């Protein structure tokens, strides 16, 4: 459902994403792992059509994101990092606005709002101004708008960032449930989320894919069987890699 082919993005002299390719099918939850500055958010923005690539292409449900942006974006739900909200709106008015922007009217709009309110547990704050919400409820409201049209593809950038442990657990559970019949990519630097929510993971470092496989396959690549060790081996400078290798011998 998502096909990324030889995707690159250059900002001036900096190559943020360097010739990466991968696919995500229905029923897959792909964790996009990498240290800060590895190119995760830039890749997300190109997949959603928010910024154009320097080279390569992205297709969503068979539609090229640049050549056929409207049908491609109709099938995408996007939760960006630090997602913007209209703070003077109430939660219910914001969700009505989001539903209308997606083309919902009348009973279809009411049904779509009811569905995401239940999924994201927003019943208790519907009449509350967004500016007065806790960070957790603001995050749930952002998540609700991203899935209000029940998209086939869901792209989430750091979906649990800043949440407390209970809220993280709820969001991971929701991702797992939605992943049964959607294609989902979410970026993170929290390694425990891979085992908690992902069917597959990609590790990206300095704009290039350095590992791609199931959590079990990735852990099997290390002597310790720990994903954390593989992550460190692949994403730290060469001098530190030698030190890590020496520690494991």
Q: What is the DSSP string of 32-56?
A: EE--TTSSHHHHHHHHTTSS--SEE
Tokens of 227: 């994903």
Question: Order of strands across the sheet with 63-64?
Answer: 14-24, 2-11, 55-60, 63-64
Parallel, antiparallel, or unpaired: how do β-strands 200-205 and 29-33 relate? parallel
For residue 96, the cross-strand partners are none
User: What are the pLDDT tens digits along the chain (249 aa)?
Assistant: 999 999 999 999 999 999 999 999 999 999 999 988 899 999 999 999 999 999 999 999 999 999 999 999 999 999 988 777 999 999 999 999 999 999 999 999 999 999 999 999 999 999 999 999 988 899 899 999 999 999 999 999 988 877 888 888 888 999 999 999 999 999 988 888 888 899 999 999 999 999 999 999 999 999 899 999 999 989 876 545 555 555 555
Tokens of 249: 């011998």
Tokens of 10: 């250059």
64 and 128 co-located in one domain: no
Domain span at residue 217 reads: 1-75+152-162+177-249
Tally of domains within the chain: 2
118 and 69 co-located in one domain: no
Residue 92 lies in a domain: yes
115 and 206 co-located in one domain: no
Q: Do 183 and 2 contact (CB within 8 A), yes or no?
A: yes
């Amino acid at each position: 459902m998502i096909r990324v082919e030889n995707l690159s993005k250059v900002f001036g002299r900096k190559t943020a994403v360097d010739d990466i390719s991968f696919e995500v099918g229905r029923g897959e939850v792909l964790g996009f792992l990498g240290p800060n500055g590895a190119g995760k958010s830039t890749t997300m923005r190109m997949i959603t059509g928010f910024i154009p690539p320097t080279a390569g292409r992205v297709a969503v449900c068979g539609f090229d994101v640049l050549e056929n942006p409207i049908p491609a974006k109709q099938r995408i739900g996007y939760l960006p990092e630090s997602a913007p909200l209209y703070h003077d709106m109430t939660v219910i008015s914001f969700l009505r606005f989001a539903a209308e922007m997606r083309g919902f009217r009348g009973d279809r709009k009411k049904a779509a709002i009811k569905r995401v309110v239940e999924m994201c547990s927003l019943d208790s704050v519907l009449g509350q101004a967004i500016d007065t919400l806790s960070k957790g409820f603001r995050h749930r409201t952002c998540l609700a708008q991203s899935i209000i049209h029940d998209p086939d593809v869901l792209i989430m950038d750091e979906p649990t960032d800043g949440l407390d442990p209970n809220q993280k657990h709820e969001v991971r559970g929701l991702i797992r449930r939605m992943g049964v019949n959607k294609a989902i990519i979410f970026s993170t630097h929290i390694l425990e989320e891979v085992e908690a929510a992902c069917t597959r993971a990609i590790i990206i470092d300095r704009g290039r894919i350095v590992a791609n496989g199931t959590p079990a396959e990735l852990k099997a690549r290390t002597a310790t069987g720990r994903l954390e060790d593989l992550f460190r081996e692949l994403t730290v400078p060469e001098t530190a890699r030698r030190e890590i290798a020496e520690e494991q011998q």
